[in-house]
């Protein structure tokens, strides 16, 4: 099943004074985070250091014939590369999550703006009805309270949007006063199959933590083999054997832990998929309700406020559908990150 949902983001709620702002979309933030994220920049430096250390170990090997040291330096470089890849994957998932959060709150701000306008209109209508003797002072108080609640909600949503905007800039590694806009774009719902038979194989081949531990285990086995050559003290032989056994246990523990975590996330994905499909049905119901109310209004059987309410309900249903899609896509990216695949 493949569903495309078109998200229309109202730019005016992000900033009313943007003159020359960056325009972000999902692709551009993935590119940007690899350019300016500080954690990724530090990991790149660690790779350069590991490369120099390997060069030094190779030079020392020519003088002292220390194959274990060379192997360790090679593994350190592999580990640094894998850490770099892991950080790239993780910060892209986090940048994606924060970007989706900005989009979701923008929709919430728009809904709160519409709700505040509806509350103002209801208050005006109640005052007119009160002047005509068709409403009570309690009706006036209640309508005024609803208007104040709508105003407070709008202010709260705007504050949440500002925080979400700063959080996105933080993970991107950009100055927090950077002005940006978000692009209108289509987001697709593409289910992912979590095959238990393939998870372990994917973990062994791609998960950076497991690969790093496997490299350490290879070095430990090499050290153990070297210690059995007859030129190593029995105590050292015993220590290398214990080190190898310890790493084997740690490897299996980590493998099983990640495997169970992926399975749990897979079950969560199924629930999020069901929620998204249910949200689409809610949108259909809200659309039909809005159509009926609009027809009744044209026939003089509904008040204008009923039409506005039906439109707000439709907008809320759309917003919930968008949020359900974002939640699913974020969870899917997290699963892929854990497995270690794109």
Helix (H, G, I), strand (E, B) or coil at 190: coil
| Residues of the chain under the 50 pLDDT cut | 1-2, 4-20
Sign of the torsion formed by the C-alpha atoms of 282, 286, 291 and 296: positive
In whole angstroms, give the CA distance from residue 257 to residue 90. 18
φ and ψ of 194, to 5 deg:
-100, 100
Predicted confidence at residue 65, as pLDDT, reads 59
Check residue 155 and give its pLDDT. Answer: 96
Token digits of residue 325: 């899609």
**Separation between Cα atoms, residue 272 and residue 192, nearest integer Å:** 12
Sorted by where each starts, the structural domains of the chain and their CATH numbers stand as: 1-190 (1.20.1600.10), 192-342 (1.20.1600.10)
pLDDT reported for residue 21: 62
pLDDT at 188: 78
């Amino acid at each position: 099943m493949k569903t495309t949902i078109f998200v229309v983001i109202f730019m005016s709620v992000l900033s009313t004074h943007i003159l020359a702002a960056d325009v972000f979309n999902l692709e551009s933030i993935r590119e940007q985070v690899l350019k300016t994220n500080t954690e990724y920049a530090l990991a790149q430096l660690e790779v350069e250091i590991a490369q120099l250390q390997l060069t030094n170990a190779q030079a020392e090997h020519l003088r002292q014939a220390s194959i274990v040291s060379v192997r360790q330096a090679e593994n350190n470089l592999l580990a640094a590369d894998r850490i770099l890849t892991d950080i790239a994957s993780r910060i892209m998932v986090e940048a994606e999550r924060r970007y989706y959060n900005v989009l979701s709150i923008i929709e919430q701000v728009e809904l709160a703006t519409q709700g505040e306008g509806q509350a103002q209109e209801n208050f005006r209508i109640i005052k007119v009805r009160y002047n005509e003797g068709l409403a009570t002072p309690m009706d006036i108080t209640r309508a005024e309270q609803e208007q104040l609640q709508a105003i407070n909600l709008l202010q709260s949503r705007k504050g949440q949007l500002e925080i979400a905007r700063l959080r996105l800039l933080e993970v991107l590694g950009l100055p927090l006063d950077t002005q940006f806009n978000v692009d209108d774009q289509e987001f697709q719902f593409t289910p992912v199959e979590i095959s238990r038979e393939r998870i372990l194989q994917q973990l062994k081949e791609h998960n950076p933590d497991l690969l790093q531990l496997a490299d350490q285990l290879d070095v430990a086995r090499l050290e153990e083999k070297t210690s059995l050559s007859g030129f190593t003290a029995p105590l050292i032989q015993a220590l290398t054997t214990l080190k190898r056994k310890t790493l084997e246990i740690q490897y299996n523990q980590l493998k099983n832990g990640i495997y169970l975590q992926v399975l749990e996330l897979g079950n969560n994905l199924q629930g999020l998929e069901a929620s998204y499909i249910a949200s689409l049905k809610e949108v259909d119901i809200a659309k039909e309700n809005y159509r009926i109310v609009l027809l009744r209004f044209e026939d003089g059987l509904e008040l204008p406020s009923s039409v506005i309410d039906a439109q707000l309900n439709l907008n809320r249903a759309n917003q919930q559908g968008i949020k359900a899609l974002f939640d699913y896509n974020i969870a899917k990216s997290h699963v892929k990150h854990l497995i270690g695949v794109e």
